[in-house]
């Protein structure tokens, strides 16, 4: 997929022609273009892709997201993709900053104290990071709430 192709998709999703995607445009597009896409997943993806945290996704943020998913297209499990996307430094585990960013994408009211409490619960080996199994336990608990 070329940059021109990505721009064409971006322009199609940008229904109000503002030059950026708001969360409603993005969620609607995900539900129409991605089979089985849940609203919560689309919202989390939006927030994780909104690199500057301004509540809007500009073309470069959208392009970075698309390129990441194309690079990892063999992976179908959205939670594995989210883990990889959140593992900013690529070390195979999530540190407190990375977990803070994940949880804030779900609930903007999350504080660092919440993250510390999360680590008390899910960092079962107490090494200061969450491996994939610990992360999945956290995800399952969040999904069941």
**Domain co-membership, 125 together with 62:** no
Q: Whole-model pTM above 0.95? A: no
Q: For residue 138, is pLDDT > 90?
A: no
The residue from 71, 96, 124 where one domain ends is: 71
Pair 3, 58 in one domain: yes
Question: Within this chain, do residues 114 and 60 fall inside the same structural domain, yes or no?
Answer: no
Neighbours of 91 (CB within 10 A): 10
Select from 10, 38, 71 the last residue of a domain. 71
Q: Which residues constitute the domain of residue 43?
A: 1-71
Render pLDDT for 106-127 as a digit per residue (tens, 0 to 9). Answer: 677 889 998 999 899 999 999 9
Question: Which has the closest alpha carbon to 8: 34, 31, 29?
Answer: 29
Residue 39's pLDDT band, with cuts at 50, 70 and 90, is confident
Q: What total of structural domains would you count in the chain?
A: 2
CA distance 104 to 101: 5
């Amino acid at each position: 997929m070329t940059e021109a192709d990505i721009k064409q998709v971006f322009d199609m999703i940008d229904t109000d022609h503002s030059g950026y995607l708001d969360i409603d445009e993005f969620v609607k597009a995900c539900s129409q273009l991605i089979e089985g896409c849940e609203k919560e997943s689309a919202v989390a993806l939006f927030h994780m892709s909104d690199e500057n945290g301004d509540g809007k996704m500009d073309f470069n943020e959208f392009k970075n997201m698309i390129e990441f998913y194309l690079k990892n297209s063999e992976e179908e499990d959205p939670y594995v993709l989210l883990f990889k996307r959140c593992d900013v430094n690529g070390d195979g585990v999530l540190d407190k900053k990375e977990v803070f960013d994940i949880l804030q994408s779900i609930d903007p009211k999350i504080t660092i104290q919440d993250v510390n409490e999360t680590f008390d619960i899910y960092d079962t080996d107490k090494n200061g990071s969450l491996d994939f199994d610990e992360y999945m336990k956290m995800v399952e608990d969040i999904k069941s709430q």
